[in-house]
Amino acid sequence: MQNNNPLSPHLQIYKWHISSLLSITHRVVGVINFFALMVICFWAISLFFGENFYRSFEIVLNTFFGKFLIISLCWTFSFQILNEIRHLVWDAGFGFDLKVAKISGVVTLIGSFILTILFYLVGRNFF
């Protein structure tokens, strides 16, 4: 029997928690990283096509937009790594407590920014 009753609202009304917010971010970031990895592979492959080809890649990456992109990708990878560790701990059966899950979420978020800055500084030969 076809039920034509209306569907009660869901996404439209449900309050966000840190855990649900990080979960959707993890997924979005995962998709972004998938494409980012393809670009990185392509960059590496561009070496085979000679110096000019490789240099033109470098010019694009050295624009303001390119720098923004690279730093953003530093964050997406940092976040993905840290949140994946969180998932790994969950899979081992720990950290399901509501308080612990909240704290680990905040730590992941803050940690991802710290890691981004570290990546940046290491890349700039700061140390």
Partner 1 sequence: MAQFSLPQNSKIEVGNYFKDKTNSKNLRKINVYRWDPSTGKNPRVDTFEVDMDNCGPKVLDILFKIKNEIDPSLTFRRSCAHGVCGSCAMNIDGINGLACIKSHSDTNGDLNIYPLPHLKVVKDLIGDLSTLYKQYESIQPWLKVDQTGQEKTELKQSQKDREKLDGYYECILCACCSTSCPSYWWNGEKYLGPAVLLQAYRWINDSRDGDKKERLKKVADELKLYRCHTIMNCTNSCPKGLNPAKAIGSIKKMLATS
Which residues have a Cβ under 8 Å from the Cβ of 30 and sit 6 or more positions away? 80
3-class DSSP state for residue 110?
helix
Residue 90 is a binding residue for partner 1 (CB under 8 A): yes
Shortest distance, position 64 Cβ to partner 1, whole Å: 34
Tokens of 25: 């971010």
The Cα–Cα gap between 31 and 45 comes to: 22
Q: 23 or 62, CB closer to partner 1?
A: 23
Residue of 64, 84, 83, 73 whose CA lies nearest to 123: 73
Shortest distance, position 125 Cβ to partner 1, whole Å: 38
Report the residue from 64, 92, 124, 126 that binds partner 1 according to the rule CB under 8 A.
Answer: 92
Interface residues with partner 1 (CB under 8 A) are: 3-15, 17, 19-20, 23-24, 27, 87, 90-93, 96-98, 101
